[in-house]
Amino acid sequence: MNAVTNPTIALLQSSSLATVVQQEIERAILAGEYPPGSQLIEVTLAEKMGVSRGPIREAFRMLDEAGLVRTEKNRGVFVKAIPIEEAIEIFDLRAAMDQMVGRKLATEATPQQLKELRELVDAMKKAAKADDTYQYHLLNLKFHDRLVEMTGNSKLVAIYRKLIKELSLFRRLNLSEGWKMPVSANEHQKILKAIASKDADAAGQAMFEHAMQSKERTIANDLRRQGHTPATSKTHA
């Protein structure tokens, strides 16, 4: 006699698999394996990941909600391309959020949290020295994500992560020139130093300036892609 599958267990298994699939596709998008504008083919991904098409469809839905893909009726699913104007708006919002995060952590960060941040900055310096842009980008994302996570504000974390995923392409492009990484690593060192000094104003300002400089770098890169030569700037990722 065949065993009867519990519908609740089947649903949980399906949901869990869809989450795993969603996380893998998201990782690939953020790593640049699927560039903005590229189409995600359901059957191809199902074969590549060794799953049925159901979890792929559910993963697409979650990625659409997260703002990483767009679904076009009768055409398919495409990796979302953020217009430069929208990216600038996100950078401005991120700068305000980062300033708040810096001020909060300057007064509340624990010794263990500061130790973790130092380790991340040290790892970023090593990646920069090794000219490892891919690893540096991942560490950069983790450093800022942990800063926000350390505030203990779950709503802030959720909003921040959605915005940062949308900005990921631009942030990778900002680090595409290897010589920018040591400059960026020093900026993260400055943020860490301000937080560790417990100076709320300095920490907030360091994070605000870092975000705004990243915005300026993004604008400069966009101008270059359009064939324009931007004015010399000290900005970086």
Which of 79, 97, 129 is the last residue before a domain boundary? Answer: 79
Which residue from 170, 150, 152, 149 is spatially nearest to 160, judged by alpha carbons? Answer: 149
Would you say residue 7 lies in a domain? no
In terms of DSSP bridges, do strands 69-72 and 39-40 run parallel, antiparallel, or are they unpaired? Answer: unpaired
pLDDT of res. 172: 59
pLDDT of res. 2: 45
Together in a domain, 209 and 100: yes
Give how many domains the chain has, as a whole number. 2
Which of 46, 79, 112 is the last residue before a domain boundary? Answer: 79
| CATH number of residue 21's parent domain | 1.10.10.10
Which of 79, 95, 113 is the last residue before a domain boundary? Answer: 79
| CATH number of residue 140's parent domain | 1.20.120.530
Tokens of 82: 């953020």
* Contact status, residue 127 vs residue 108, Cβ threshold 8 Å: no
pLDDT of res. 171: 62
Together in a domain, 105 and 36: no
Q: Running along the chain, 237 residues long, what does each successive block of 10 average in pLDDT?
A: 45 69 87 86 93 92 88 91 87 96 98 98 95 86 95 95 78 58 90 97 96 87 70 45
Q: Please enumerate in sequence order all residues whose Cβ is within 8 A of that of 99, keeping only pairs 6 or more positions apart, or say none.
A: 204, 205, 207, 208
Would you say residue 233 lies in a domain? no
Together in a domain, 127 and 200: yes
Q: Order across the sheet with 69-72: list the strands.
A: 39-40, 76-79, 69-72
pLDDT of res. 152: 97
Q: Where are the alpha helices (DSSP H) in 66-197?
A: 84-108, 111-129, 133-149, 154-174, 180-196
* Residue-wise pLDDT tens digits, 176-224: 555 578 888 999 999 999 999 999 999 999 999 999 988 888 888 777 7
Would you say residue 232 lies in a domain? no
CA distance 35 to 2: 46
- 210-215: list long-range contacts, CB under 8 Å, 24+ apart: 210/98, 211/91, 211/94, 211/95, 211/98, 212/91, 212/95, 213/187, 214/91, 214/171, 214/174, 215/88, 215/91, 215/92, 215/95
Q: Please enumerate in sequence order all residues whose Cβ is within 8 A of that of 131, keeping only pairs 6 or more positions apart, or say none.
A: 178, 181
Together in a domain, 75 and 90: no
- For 15, the 3-state DSSP assignment is helix
Together in a domain, 114 and 190: yes
Q: Which domain holds residue 192?
A: 84-172+179-226
Together in a domain, 55 and 125: no
CA distance 190 to 198: 13
Amino acid at 75: R
Together in a domain, 141 and 193: yes
Q: What is the pTM of this model?
A: 0.72
Size of the chain in residues: 237
pLDDT of res. 17: 87
Together in a domain, 157 and 212: yes
Together in a domain, 95 and 67: no
Together in a domain, 151 and 166: yes
